[in-house]
Amino acid sequence: MRPFEILRGYRREYLRADLVAGLTVAVVLLPQAIAYALIAELPAEAGLYAAVIAGIAGALWGSSKHLQTGPTNAASLLVLTTLLPILPPGTPEYIAAASLMAIMVGAIRFSMGMLHLGILANFVSDSVIIGFTAGAGILISANQLRHLFGLSVPGSPYLFNTLQAVVLNLSHTHALSLILGLGTVMVVLLLKRFKPHWPSALISMALASVIVGVFHLEAQGVKVLGELPRSLPPLSDFSLFRTEWVGQMAVGAFAVAAIGLVEATSIARSIAAQSGQYVSSNQEFVGQGMANMAAGLFSGYTCSGSFIRSSLNYASGAKTQMASVFSGLIVLAAALAFAPLTAYLPRTALAGVLIVTAYGMIDRKEMRRIWNASRGDSLIMLATLGSTLVLPLQYAVLAGVIVSFVRYVIKTSTPLVYPVVPSDNFRHFVQHEDQPFCPQLGIITISGSLYFGAAHHVEKVIRAELDKYPEQTHLLLRMHLVDHCDVSGIHMLESLVRMRRKVGGDVFLSGVRPLVRQQMELLGFDKFLSSDHFFAREDAIAYLFHHVLSPEICIYECPVRVFAECQALPKYDYRSNLPVSFSFDEHHIDSLLPSELQSKLTENGQVLVLADVREEKEYQEGHISQACLIPMRHIAVKGKNLPRDCPIVLVCRTGRRSMLAAHILKDMGYSQVYNLEGGMLAWKAAGYPVAVE
């Protein structure tokens, strides 16, 4: 059990630091617990009970050493908007329903933690939280205006209904209440400005209570909180629970559970980033579940993690979870000792404190950052903010979560796919737009998962790129940024391979990650493609240049030098050596297979001319012994010396260059011109001898 692990590992030297941190947090937690309960239209003691029970349970079963669990602004507002359509505030049934809702929320969170669904918190964008808290701040401020003005109007979960009710009843404003409330706001702001480390909320509320008590303002119409009961947190009145409430509160409970989990785990992780502690999302889910179920059982209501109190806990030097336990116990002791003093606490002062706090919930700086950085996140933030102000709050939260999830799905299903070429210094690849590209080899980077949702998008983009440059028969896919590939991704790759091989090219992969390669092997794709088509990122270009790309295209048809290997390559424009009158018309060229050429060469009495039209270096590395060298760039000049009364067979590396040379000779009037089909590659593959100089 988690509590026994914490207690067993506790050391005496932690005690002083945890006590100091617990006392510091308790000073802030006490007034907040009372104020936040009033947001939910619950009695102040419900907030104190929740602060004590949830704070202790969340600390003992959670993962973070510094996360402080208890009543929060957002959770209180969600409770209000969920319960108002069901039951009238102030009734015993309303209080019982709030406790039942806490148990439901706790059960959802606890179940998610036990099922190891902590990863789901990652699918909710921070933009949802920012938009929701901003909207919640506006709603809280609007709901507190009636108390600030001393108006007797019913609360409403809808912003415009609340504002309309306040405006229509402004003539009934209670002047003393308004002055006292505005004075409280002024004190809080001044203390925050000049004494930021002082408990401004507690001081301002205590000062307002003294003024009410000394001048007997409650007799003049100033509404006061009333004396709190001096008792330990009692068990909830289960006899009031109704089964139909479960269905009526289900959507709200799920919304509270979702937003609270994201809020709590985000707070825990942000503080853990400073403290260096490892935080388990699953264990934090369990802790939040236990905190809410315990609060619901003992007359409290729904709670969550508080960023302000958690940060204060860490800044005060808390060493372990026991600091939150101590803060809960201190709040309990203070509530029991000073309960009579709350009889003079004016409701308008609480409203003033809450309005200042709610204003602080609108994180304008972070909203500007999101607006300037990402249109997608801005859309989610504004959608959640707008929904919070217009829709029932529980649906607004779920709408923000759904939009966030949909955006994630869309983003992962449309990974970046873009063509690249080597940079000017050949050290890395850059996206090619107006830069030169290789006419034989297309290089495309895929950045994202190749799963069923993304496969169609990736194939569509690649096919569109290949359609732009149909001469690029070979394709190199850089896959070092692909972290997952499923069967749909494999089928897409197989389709690309078939398409390239159909036009005489092929597909090659570089930088394939081990897990992705393993998946390819399990699905048989490595055999379909051939294992020699996989390369390390740094080896692919060199191999393809020397063993796959056609030198004749590089030398005679490509005017650019894209790769480092191209830099020393000679570039010749064979057309510049052709006569002006040369038409380069299409001619029918007969081809010879390597076996047919071998037969002719070994046949007695057979006279033919075998001309190798490659470059001298290629010729020296391996040629047919009977072949003479006439480089392609000289064919129009030296070809005039070839005999016209015997067959002429032209050969190059693959048959492409020799086919061009054959057309030139045909245009020059030679009739018996043949091309070696497949060139020297086919000759070598057939096992025929090669001479090397």
Active site residue ranges: 652
DSSP-based three-state secondary structure for 534: strand
DSSP-based three-state secondary structure for 414: coil
Give the neighbor-by-neighbor strand order of the sheet with 648-651.
590-592, 673-676, 648-651, 609-612, 628-629
Cα→Cα distances 501→294, 415, 417, 533, Å: 66, 25, 21, 13
Strand ranges for 51-145 from DSSP E:
68-70
Residues 334 and 26 sit within 8 Å (Cβ to Cβ): yes
Residues 152 and 172 sit within 8 Å (Cβ to Cβ): yes
Environment class of 394 (CB within 10 Å of its CB; exposed 0-12, middle 13-18, buried 19+): buried
The tokens 């912003």 sit on which residue? 159
Helix (H) or strand (E) holding 590, with range, is strand 590-592
- What does the block give as tokens for 680? 């020297």
- Length of the chain as a residue count: 693
- What does the block give as tokens for 623? 């040629």
Eight-class DSSP state of 592: E
Nearest to 310 by CA among 590, 65, 598: 65
Amino acid code (one letter) for 621: E
Distance CA(324)–CA(264), nearest Å, equals 15
Amino acid code (one letter) for 565: E
Residues 335 and 30 sit within 8 Å (Cβ to Cβ): yes
- Those residues whose C-beta lies under 8 Å from the C-beta of residue 511, and which sit 6 or more positions away, are 478, 479, 480, 535, 536, 537
Distance CA(288)–CA(293), nearest Å, equals 9
Residues forming a β-bridge with 477 = 444, 509
Distance CA(679)–CA(611), nearest Å, equals 12
- Those residues whose C-beta lies under 8 Å from the C-beta of residue 678, and which sit 6 or more positions away, are 593, 594, 654, 655, 685
- Those residues whose C-beta lies under 8 Å from the C-beta of residue 408, and which sit 6 or more positions away, are 123, 125
Residues 71 and 34 sit within 8 Å (Cβ to Cβ): no
Nearest to 525 by CA among 576, 551, 491: 491
DSSP string, 270-330: HHHHHH-----HHHHHHHHHHHHHHHHHTT----EEEHHHHHHHHHTT--STHHHHHHHHH
